[in-house]
């Protein structure tokens, strides 16, 4: 039997890498970006708290984790204060894996360059 260069397609998505509450905030930010047709999101903690049914402090903690984990890239940082807002670029799963996937402990995601020969994907 010949060895194959084909790899199984990943069934991994954003939800596999993000904590549940952080995912709800990421999902909200991603939905806003998709609806507006842009890749950046301005975080208004009060609005995000209402959308995710949580407190403003919980939203701010989740935002810090999303930035630290690389799901949001800071365009301009929020200033300290209750109603401060910041603008962030929201990464989707493919962008995140391309940038961080091979360096994240416990991540089974590996970026496969579609332009590289021998990197064909087969259905799982």
What CATH number corresponds to the domain at position 102?
1.10.10
Q: Does the residue 72 lie in any domain?
A: yes
Q: Does the residue 68 lie in any domain?
A: yes
Indicate the number of domains in the chain: 1
And the tokens for 116? Answer: 């590289």
Q: Does the residue 3 lie in any domain?
A: no
Q: Does the residue 13 lie in any domain?
A: no
DSSP 68-93: HTTSEEEEEPPPSSTT--EEEEEP-H
CA 67 to chain CA mean position, Å: 9
Q: Does the residue 124 lie in any domain?
A: no
Instruction: Say what the pLDDT of residue 121 is.
Output: 44
Helices vs. strands in the chain: H and E counts, helices first: 4, 5
pTM of this prediction? Answer: 0.71
Task: Write out the residue range of the structural domain in which residue 68 sits.
Answer: 22-111
| pLDDT tens-place string over residues 52-104 | 888 888 988 999 999 998 899 999 888 776 567 889 999 988 888 788 766 55
Q: Does the residue 11 lie in any domain?
A: no
């Amino acid at each position: 039997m010949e060895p194959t260069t084909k790899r199984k397609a990943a069934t991994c998505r954003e939800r596999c890498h993000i904590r549940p509450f952080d995912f709800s905030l990421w999902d909200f930010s991603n939905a806003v970006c998709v609806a507006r047709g842009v890749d950046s999101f301005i975080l208004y903690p009060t609005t995000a708290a209402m959308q995710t049914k949580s407190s403003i402090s919980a939203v701010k903690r989740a935002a810090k984790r999303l930035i630290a984990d690389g799901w949001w890239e800071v365009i301009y940082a929020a200033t300290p204060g209750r109603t401060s807002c910041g603008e962030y670029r929201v990464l989707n799963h493919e962008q995140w894996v391309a940038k961080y996937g091979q360096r994240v402990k416990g991540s089974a995601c590996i970026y496969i360059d579609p332009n590289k020969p021998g990197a064909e994907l087969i259905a799982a």
